Amino acid sequence: MNNGKYVFSQVISFLNFNDFIKCVRRYNGNYKVLHFSCWHQLMCLLFGQLSNRESLSDLMICLATQQSKWYHLGMGSGISKSNLAYANEHRDWHIFADYAYLLIARARILCKGSNEFEVYTPGYVDFSRLYVIHQSKAFFVTRLKQHINYRRLYSARADKAAGVLCDQTIRLNNDKASKDYPEKLRRVKYYDAQTNMELEFLTNNFSLSAADIALLYQYRWSIELFFKWIKQHLKVKSFWGYSENAVRIQIYTAIIAYLTVAIIKEELKIKYSNYEILQILSLTLLNKTQLNQLFEQPGLQTLKNLNSNQLNLI
């Protein structure tokens, strides 16, 4: 039973508060915070994502009309445009990224692996960040452009005909790096005949062939497909902040919103698509209908056919 809870409150009940607080503590996110905590920040941003707000100002106008409901919506009492804007500009975006990866791992289990993807990060290697991805049971491939201190544990046979120069299992030697990433890594060195370059990669994936690991990097244009997917499914029509930190928080919050819907769909066995669920939620967040009943109403029209200007997620 929902015991009279708002639909938004029922939605956020699928999020693990303790897991989020662990992410907050990892980056000292609530340091000297009295009222508007990182959790309250997340709740406000999720409400904005799920209700299709166009901007930070639009979100605050909407919330201002619902002040009596803030507590029951999990948003606390210190909501203002200045507080939310300041939090987005100054609180570490890694908090929201780490939590998103935890949800990705959870969604992958529920969806039997269909939420699976690889992460490509060229340039400087942040081993603590990569370890968060690894702990989330996701895969990464990153190109190395600088020397790292490591020791080789053993080498696999390299398919030189496919351009693979070496395929090694390694551990990091540097004290800080080894603490940030305490487990084994895979180092692949590859000759790219098209560019006449030798490329070096690190990955936590030991099942794909070394040639496939290199091929993944060549498909880095898939990042553009990822942002196309964001535009199709998430509320990122305009950015709600001007700094990189604020933009990253907004994008990861949008991913959290989408993953929450995916988790709800699987756990409640909802027949509607994620897109349709998002559309329905956008109109009912302040209703007190029980979630499973919300998606079982016999006369509910398929929302794909409704006015796209009114319901467009992007």
The residues pairing with 202 across neighbouring beta strands, listed in sequence order, are 142, 187
Cα 132 off chain centre by: 12
* Element at 170 (helix H, strand E): strand 164-172
> Is it the case that residue 155 has pLDDT exceeding 90?
yes
- Of the candidates 185, 188, 193, the residue with the CA atom closest to the CA atom of residue 216: 188
Question: pLDDT digits over 187-199, tens only?
Answer: 999 998 878 888 8
Checking phi first, is residue 93 left (phi over 0); if not, alpha (psi -120 to 50) or beta?
alpha
pTM above 0.75, yes or no: no
- pLDDT class of 168 with cuts at 50, 70, 90: very high
Tell me what the pLDDT averaged over the chain comes to: 83
User: Where does residue 177 rank: exposed (0-12), middle (13-18), buried (19+ CB within 10 A)?
Assistant: middle
**pLDDT reported for residue 148:** 86
Question: pLDDT digits over 264-275, tens only?
Answer: 999 999 988 888
Question: pLDDT digits over 116-127, tens only?
Answer: 444 445 556 788
**pLDDT reported for residue 56:** 87
Q: State the average pLDDT over residues 25-33.
A: 91
User: Where does residue 275 rank: exposed (0-12), middle (13-18), buried (19+ CB within 10 A)?
Assistant: middle
Question: How many CB atoms sit inside 10 A of residue 78's CB?
Answer: 16
What are the residue ranges spanned by the domains of the chain? Answer: 7-97+227-311, 123-219
> Is it the case that residue 279 has pLDDT exceeding 80?
yes
The dihedrals phi and psi of 285, each to the nearest 5 degrees, come to -60, -30
